[in-house]
Amino acid sequence: MHGATSLDVTGRLIGGCVETLVNLAGTPYGDVAGFGRAHAEDGLVVYLEVSGDDAATVCRHLHGLRLAGWFEHARAILIGRTNAPDHPQVTQHEAVLDALGRLGLPIVLDLEIGHVPPHLPLVNGALARVVVDGEDRRIVQTLA
């Protein structure tokens, strides 16, 4: 984890695959800043994962999402484990920290979500509680 030694946070889940979402940023279908304003009372937990883009491309995509306001209402960022390639100048983890580390938000790395087995699902819009404290690592989703 980056930005905190432990975490216990709640917020509305929003996110998905970086390679898909980057194409929606700045459109009515990817207005996460607007979604955050509508649900600011709950805050957001933004989750992202990478399918196959190399780390330099991912870094550019994450900077774009940051500039599009994706993290304005975030309380934490969750990053899925990936088998996508690093780049000679930057690893996947370094790409995330380069683009998002300056936000001052806790970033939980290497979650078992997305394109890498076991493909654990997160539900957009669900209210989530994320706990990371030593060996205790859990996400509880409430669909109400």
Q: Strand pairing partners for 47? A: 15, 78
- Could you tell me if 82 and 50 are in contact, meaning their C-beta atoms sit under 8 angstroms apart? yes
Residue 81 maps to a domain: yes
Domain housing 66: 7-142
Could you tell me the mean pLDDT of each successive run of 10 residues in the chain, 144 residues long? 90 97 94 91 96 98 97 97 97 98 96 94 96 95 90
What is the distance between the terminal CA atoms of the chain, rounded to a whole angstrom? 28
Look up residue 115 and give its amino acid: H
- Indicate whether 2 belongs to any domain: no
DSSP labels, 33-77? HHHHHHTTTT-EEEEEE-SS--HHHHHHHHHHHHHTTTTTTEEEE
Whether residue 100 is contained in a domain is answered as yes
Alpha carbons 90 and 68: distance in angstroms, whole number: 23
Parallel, antiparallel, or unpaired: how do β-strands 7-17 and 107-111 relate? unpaired
**What's the pLDDT at 122?**
97
Instruction: Classify residue 138 by burial, with Cβ atoms within 10 Å: 0-12, 13-18, 19+.
Output: exposed
Residue 1 lies in a domain: no
Model pLDDT, residue 6? 93
Residue 4 has a pLDDT of: 84
The number of distinct structural domains making up the chain is 1
Domain-located, residue 92: yes
- What CATH number does residue 136 fall under? 3.50.30.60
Q: Confirm whether 82 is domain-assigned.
A: yes
Distance CA 54, CA 40 (A): 33
